[in-house]
Amino acid sequence: MPLPPLRPPPRRSPPTTIGEAYPDARGFATLKWIVILLLVSCMFAGGLYALTPLVSKDPLYLARVPWRLPVRVLCDSYLSLIMVIRAYTFMHLPRAPLVVDDYLMLLGLGVIGGVTVVTTSTILGLPVEDERVVMACAGVLVVLVAGLLAYWRWIVRKYGDKPVDPAPKLVEGDRN
């Protein structure tokens, strides 16, 4: 009697959504939000602490070019907003594709965040006396933060529990 041919076990397809990749992400949501908020607070505290050597050398460092403090705060806002969006996506958007997190981390944090940190550090570390340079950097950071907020709104509307159809539906009234 011949033996049946051996078949390899069926291959599982890789997870395609965040809910499939991280099924336990919704557990302990309150504790996770507390940890995220502590992380964000530490990011802001670290960013402001980085200004202490500059302010200790020159007490009027922030007064000479008043746009320096908003640049530091906006850089920290951008980086911490990425962390908050990522946590929100993991806990509340299980239907979102896994690519959303990959792009957020690779492009948002790695590429754009890296360039933002290097640019901000350069502008704050070098003796820039022309306010327009610092103001332009603050303007770019405002646009980046607004872009992140728009991206967050888009993924919530698209992959949230109740996705919103952007096209309004035409409803005809009752004709009696």
Question: Tokens 């076990």 appear where?
Answer: 9
Give the pLDDT band of residue 22 (cuts 50, 70, 90): confident
| CB-neighbour burial class of residue 161 (10 A; exposed 0-12, middle 13-18, buried 19+) | exposed
- Supply the range of the domain harboring residue 86: 26-159
Q: CA 59, 60, 62: angle at the middle one, nearest 5?
A: 110
Q: How many domains does the chain have?
A: 1
Tell me what pLDDT residue 29 has.
Answer: 81
- List of residues 6+ apart from 70 with CB closer than 8 A: 138
pTM metric for this prediction: 0.80
Q: How confident is the model at residue 75 (pLDDT cuts 50, 70, 90)?
A: very high
